[in-house]
Amino acid sequence: MSGNVQLLSDTLAGAKEEGRSALIAYLPAGFPTVDGGIAAIKAVFDGGADVVEVGLPHSDPVLDGPVIQTADDIALRGGVKIADVMRTVREAHEATGKPVLVMTYWNPIDRYGVERFTAELAEAGGAGCILPDLPVQESGLWREHAEKHGLGTVFVVAPSSKDARLAEITAAGSGFVYAASLMGVTGTRASVGAQAQELVRRTKATTDLPVCVGLGVSNAVQAREVAGFADGVIVGSAFVKLMLDAPDEAAGLEGVRALAADLAEGVRGAV
């Protein structure tokens, strides 16, 4: 088994060698349909994203703001299943050769079976998982199976995390560390501010892993700001909102491709 997480690590390292941050996009599987979601991911990659996180839609998403909740609801009403998430990962990765992660709450994996989920994700070419609500101290079983299948485990750190806790979290993770720049739910913000920069500084003091910032970036100006201090800039709600607001699927795809291109210029403008 070749370590799928290696592609993720190499991609982030490659961006660093170019003197820039990586652009990481988030889109939920099954939105607006399974095929439409796959097309959207391909469009975002085509626009310039380095990595994509595929959201596993959840009926009670504690971290996600109203935009992503709306998209999740559409996907769930459409009957999206874990098999569709795996298909989304496979088709997006095979079409682009780029790293694709799954972002999911713990409960669906627990119900599906950790061994089954990790084996299927690795077989689909997935690079790993972002697990926002899995406490590090309860992650042993997941990490054992993830490592066996060459998958990365990305944990989320927040401004409220104490230094000792940051060290514990970063020691257990792989791929990169997801720094949530603001407390509370995801969504676009007017400014991501100094809080994110301080969190990145504190996190980097504990690890050599890349530190990528999410929650709040929606345009090239903000992407450039965050790229000035983070290894990766994570954008989700802005892509989803474009698709929700688009008059039709073709317009949505063109919109997310254009936004990805704009953001890609932003992360390159930080050098």
Active site residues: 53, 64
Q: Is the dihedral of CA 258, 65, 84, 22 positive or negative?
A: positive
**Alpha helix positions (H), 62-162:** 66-77, 82-96, 106-112, 114-123, 140-148
The SS3 call for residue 233 is strand
Q: Look up residue 102 and give its amino acid.
A: V
Q: What is the number of other CB atoms lying within 10 angstroms of the CB of residue 78?
A: 16
- Please give the distance of CA 30 from its chain centroid, rounded to a whole number: 16
The tokens for 26 are 């988030």
Cis amide bond preceding 66, omega within 30: no
- Please give the distance of CA 59 from its chain centroid, rounded to a whole number: 19
- Say if residues 126 and 149 touch (Cβ distance below 8 Å): no
